[in-house]
Structure 1
Amino acid sequence: MSSTHRLGFTGDVMLGRQVNDAYRDGQRSPAALWGNLQSRLRGLDGLFVNLECCLSTRGEPWPGRRFHFRADPDWSTDALRAATVDCCSLANNHAMDFGPDALEDTLSALSAVDVETVGAGRLRAAARRPVAVDCRGVTVAVVGFTDNVSGYAATEDRPGTAHVAFDPDDEESMSVLRESIAAATQFDPDVLVASLHWGPNNRTQPLDDHRAVARKLADWGVDLVAGHSAHLFQGVEVIERGESPTVVCYDMGDFVDDYAVDPEHRNDRSFLFELVVGSDGTLLELELRPTEIEGRAVYRASNRGAAWCRTTIQERSALFDTEFDRAGRGLVVSLT
């Protein structure tokens, strides 16, 4: 095993609507989705994303919902494979947009290209079950949960998402989280990740309840909280616990989609979050590489975009006293 490993994490990857229209039927190469980032993504030892859509051509739009996202699995699985995505979290508010059949297709399509899934399943127990991913010799265990769209929750007899309330005083939800994390520790992982799709859209700071839940997760042994849902990146907090800290990325923002761009909050800008891990599982640093969505693809951010990302993430992390150092166009947080 090499001395260090790099594990990549992103926020929302939404391949439906205009993204789907741009790539299906061979109009563009699926690999073009990753712009000039493809080689970087393929060079990682592991890549984990929040897949903010279903991969299916079946099903009917879920009633009462404003947005419904799905992509044709023929091209979208090729795109995920082109970036060597290792694991998709499906614990979000779009995995069931076209009902149980579409979720079944999503699970089958990802399994067929050896992409692990977490956070949704054919029954409640499967949706809550953690997964272990071998990342070139580093074992990463992942749990996935969401508090979005309770109607999408898996039950004892219906597919759906792993749904909980991210409320530190909700004993049932906290018990569900703790049990899933305990199950994840049975893999004896080098890194334990909680992928959480939580909270409302368009917030630049986490809810107080989420900060309290993050501390519980740290106490239970989670190494990285990979948050998403707001469509905007939020601050990074490092919670000290014994010999190894817990890194909390409260929201990783959007990585690729077709959404309208807010000119102030710039939901088209975010980061590729790279966790550098030692051969013994020690967390060494978190590197943040600025990214930008353009023309239904994701790219390294321009000089101007990167400067905005650097300034903004530091402003949004000031509440947590997080210390950043410059690293090329991006930033790095030392964890040792």
Structure 2
Amino acid sequence: MAITDSEASTQKTPITLFLCGDVMTGRGIDQILPHPSKPQLYEPYVQNAQEYVELAEEINGKIPRPVSFDYIWGDALVELEKIAPDARIINLETSITTSDEFWVNKGIHYRMHPQNMPSLTVAKIDCCVLANNHVLDWGYAGLTETLRILTNAHIKTAGAGANLQAAQSRAILDIPLKGRIIIISCGTESSGIAYEWAASARKAGVYFLTDLSRKTVDQIATLVRQNKHPGDIVIVSIHWGGNWGYRIPEEHIDFAHMLIDSAEIDLLHGHSSHHPIGLEVYKEKLILYGCGDFLNDYEGIGGHEHYRGDLSLMYFASIAPATGKLVSLEMVPLQIKYFRLNRTSAEDAYWLQRILDEHSSKLNCRIELTSDQKLKAVY
């Protein structure tokens, strides 16, 4: 059940979060920004990043270039301005670097030129979670530069660092008069993260989960207890699972439930799937099993079209600071077209609502379509 108006009125003003899935500003998108990286790629089939722009143009027509830094966010900026969330959290699946030390024997390498950093700051991003399968695409030098560039831009990071302690370190966002948000970022091999990317006591890398066992839950619980104060909202952001398909593994459901039951987390922010999948409200805490890609350069790439990977969601979750319980969840559907985020048609919004409702209803959460073509969770 949702929190009633009378219950909410006795608590602090809810904290509203903007969450989304994978933001991939490298490769083709980087090429249309004002300062493109060297376009050379080391992929099996594509050796020049400009080819991804050309593929997209073959499908939908000419993409302007160079574009302004705010171009790629398109209608998402309008929604962010309108809703004015207290914090904006994304999974950044792109190295921000000039490093040429690409990771050998890896099929895809995403990087954005550091001078294109305003494409993130223009959206006023507060935190980038980095425990994913692209943050080390351009080697340890690329990771070091990415962390430095984000820090210099006053964007908090979690999930990757110079050693395991740094990778496990939480990001803390202070919300004036409301409270704090604590973010822990981690990832699993099922998302494509190589085991050799795991940070250790003496090696840089990501916070890599070797399994989803009770022991791992206890490890995360220890990190939470070290940092959580009364009234804090704790988010575990996790990169897990395959790229396509709606089935949520029982192991993921069990792990999410254990984190809420035993580790005192308030929201699980899952990502890796290339399209949004089902969500759950468990004990009045929000579980996003897979937020889907938010922004990518896949526009001209064929295959898996029936999953509608061109459709993205902005998740706006309002959380009660005193309890960590979900007050409301509204989702704004967008479409990636011309390497830009655009409001969807009514037909596409309805398609997303039906798909998400079908799969979320299995987890006792219904998804409704509002009169203004947004999606709303009912639980």
**What TM-score, normalized by structure 2, do the two folds share?**
0.82
Query: CA 1:202–1:279 in structure 2 vs 1: closer, same or farther (change >3 Å)?
Result: closer
- Which residue is 2:209 aligned to? 164
Of residues 52, 57, 72, the one that matches 2:113 is: 72
The CA deviation string for residues 139-196 of structure 1, in whole angstroms up to 9 with x for no partner, is: 1111100012211111222211100034225x3x33332222223425x453211100
Deviates more, 1:288-297 or 1:320-329: 320-329
Q: Which moved more, 1:257-266 or 1:245-254?
A: 257-266
In the TM superposition, residue 286 of structure 1 has moved relative to its aligned partner by: 1.1
1:321–1:282: structure 2 CA closer, same or farther, 3 Å change rule?
A: closer
Instruction: Report the RMSD for the aligned CA atoms in angstroms.
Output: 1.9
Matched residue, 1:11 = 21
Q: Which has the larger radius of gyration?
A: 2
Instruction: Write out aligned runs for 1:16-165 (5 A).
Output: 16-25=26-35, 27-42=66-81, 43-75=84-116, 77-136=117-176, 137-147=178-188, 148-165=193-210
Instruction: Out of 322-331 and 58-67, give the one that drifted further.
Output: 322-331
**Which of 264, 267, 281 pairs up with 1:224?**
267
| Partner residue of 1:204 out of 246, 256, 270 | 246
Cα shift at 1:321: 1.7
Question: Is contact 2:317-2:330 (8 Å) kept?
Answer: yes
Q: Using the alignment, how far apart are the partners of 1:55 and 1:189 within structure 2? A: 34
Which residue pairs with 1:214 in the alignment?
A: 256
Q: 1:209 to 1:291 in 2, by over 3 A?
A: same
Q: Figure out how many residues of one structure are paired with residues of the other and give that number.
A: 327
- Matched residues in 2 for 1:197 and 1:184: separation? 22
Cα distance change of structure 1 residues 276 and 199 upon mapping to structure 2, 3 Å threshold: same
Amino-acid identity (%): 27
- Give per-residue Cα distances to partners, 1:214-259, cap 9 Å, x unaligned: 011111211111100111211011111xxxx221110000100102
Report 1 or 2 for greater relative contact order, CA contacts < 8 Å, sequence distance ≥ 6.
2
Q: 34-43 or 109-118, which moves further after superposition?
A: 34-43
For residue 22 of structure 2, what is the amino acid of its counterpart? Answer: D
Q: 1:273 aligns with which of 315, 320, 345?
A: 315
Q: Which residue of 1 aligns with 2:236?
A: 194
Distance 1:153 1:279, change over 3 A: closer
Tell me, in whole angstroms, the C-alpha distance in 2 between the residues paired with 1:313 and 1:153: 33
Structure 1 residues 33 and 120, CA, compared in 2 at 3 Å: closer, same or farther?
Answer: same
Q: Tell me which residue corresponds to 2:377.
A: 333
Is 1:315 matched with 2:358? yes
User: TM-score if structure 1 supplies the norm length?
Assistant: 0.92
Query: SS of the residue aligned with 1:64?
Result: coil
Code of the residue aligned with 1:41 in structure 2: it is L
Letter matched to residue 20 of structure 1: D
- Letter of the 2:209 partner, please give it: V
| Counterpart residue type for residue 292 of structure 2 | G
For residues 100 and 145 of structure 2, the distance between their equivalents in structure 1, rounded to whole angstroms, comes to 10
Pick one of 275, 280, 289 that aligns with 1:250.
289
Give the secondary structure class of the aligned counterpart of 1:62: coil
Q: Is the 8 A contact 2:286 2:326 kept in 1?
A: no
Is residue 11–residue 255 contact of structure 1 (8 Å, CA) maintained in 2? yes
3-state secondary structure, aligned to 2:33: helix
Cα 1:198–1:184 shift into 2, 3 Å: farther
Quick one: distance in 1 between partners of 2:167 and 2:329? Answer: 29
Residue 8 of structure 1 deviates from its aligned partner by 0.4
Distance 2:105 2:351 in 1: 37
For residue 315 of structure 1, report the CA deviation from its aligned partner.
1.2
Match of 2:38 in 1: none
Amino acid at match of 2:32: A
- After superposition, the C-alpha distances for 1:24-61 in whole angstroms (9 at most, x for unaligned) are 33811111110112132242211000001110011411
For residues 282 and 253 of structure 1, what CA distance do their matches in structure 2 show? 23
Instruction: Structure 2: state its 5+ residue gaps.
Output: 1-10, 36-64
Q: CA deviation at 1:19?
A: 0.4
1:289 positional shift:
1.2
Instruction: Read off the aligned partner of 2:314 and give its amino acid letter.
Output: L
Paired letter, 2:362 = L
SS of match in other structure, 1:200: coil
Amino acid aligned to 1:269: L
Instruction: Give the CA deviation at 1:314.
Output: 0.6
CA gap of 1:135–1:306, structure 2 versus 1, over 3 A, is: farther
Is the Cα contact below 8 Å between 2:217 and 2:259 reproduced in 1?
A: no
Deviations 1:44-88 (A, max 9, x none): 21100000111001141111111111101211x211111110000
SS in 1 for 2:307: coil
